[in-house]
Amino acid sequence: MSSELKKAIDQISKDRGIDRDLLIDTLEEAVRSSVARKYGEQMDIEVNFNEELGEIQVYQFKVVVSEINDPVSEITLEEAREHDPNIQLDDEMGFKVKIEDLGRIAAQSAKQVIIQRMRDAEQEIIYEEYRDRKGEIVSGIVQRRDRTGWIINLGRTEALLPKEEQIARERYKRGDRIQAYIIEVQKESRGPQIVVSRSHPDYMGALFAREVPEVYDGTVKIMGVARDPGLRAKVAVTSRDRDVDPVGACVGIRGSRIQNIVQELKGERIDIVVWSPDIAVYAQNALSPAVISRIMVDDEEKTLEVVVPDDQLTLAIGRKGQNVKLAAQLLGWKIDIFTESRYGELNADKKGMDQLASVAEVPMETFISAGFETTAQLVGATEEQLLTISGMTPEKVRDMRAAINILGLAAPQEAEETDNAGDGE
DSSP-assigned states of every residue in 249-292: HHH-GGGHHHHHHHHHTTT-EEEEEE--SSHHHHHHHHTTTS--
Give the pLDDT of residue 140: 94
Contacts 24+ apart (CB under 8 A), 299-303: 301/334, 302/332, 302/333, 302/334, 303/333, 303/334, 303/335, 303/336
Give the pLDDT of residue 80: 86
Instruction: Give the Cβ contact number of residue 226 at 10 Å.
Output: 22
pLDDT in tens, the chain (425 residues): 445 667 777 777 777 667 788 778 877 887 787 777 777 777 888 888 888 777 778 888 889 898 888 887 888 888 888 888 888 888 888 888 776 655 455 556 556 666 777 777 778 888 888 888 899 999 999 999 988 899 999 988 889 999 999 998 888 889 999 999 999 998 876 777 899 999 999 999 999 999 999 999 999 999 999 999 999 999 999 999 999 999 999 999 999 999 999 999 989 999 999 999 999 999 999 998 999 999 999 999 999 999 999 999 999 999 889 999 999 999 999 999 988 888 777 776 777 778 888 888 888 888 888 888 878 888 888 888 888 888 889 888 888 888 888 777 765 444 444 444 444 44
Instruction: Specify burial of residue 371 (Cβ count, 10 A radius: 0-12, 13-18, 19+).
Output: exposed
CA 335 from chain centre, in angstroms, equals: 25
Of 34, 32, 81, 82, give the one whose Cα is nearest residue 59.
Answer: 32
From CA 313, how far away is CA 365, in angstroms rounded? 30
* DSSP string of 353-390, one letter each residue: HHHHHHHHT--HHHHHHTT--SHHHHHH--HHHHTTST
From CA 225, how far away is CA 155, in angstroms rounded? 31
Give the pLDDT of residue 107: 53
Sign of CA dihedral 80, 83, 88, 91: negative
Instruction: Specify burial of residue 272 (Cβ count, 10 A radius: 0-12, 13-18, 19+).
Output: buried
Question: Helix or strand or coil: residue 27?
Answer: helix
Taken in order of first residue, the domains within the chain and their CATH numbers are 3-128 (3.30.1480.10), 135-197 (2.40.50.140), 200-275 (3.30.300.20), 361-424 (no CATH)
Cis peptide before 289 (omega within 30 of 0): yes
Give the pLDDT of residue 1: 41
CA distance from start to end of the chain: 118
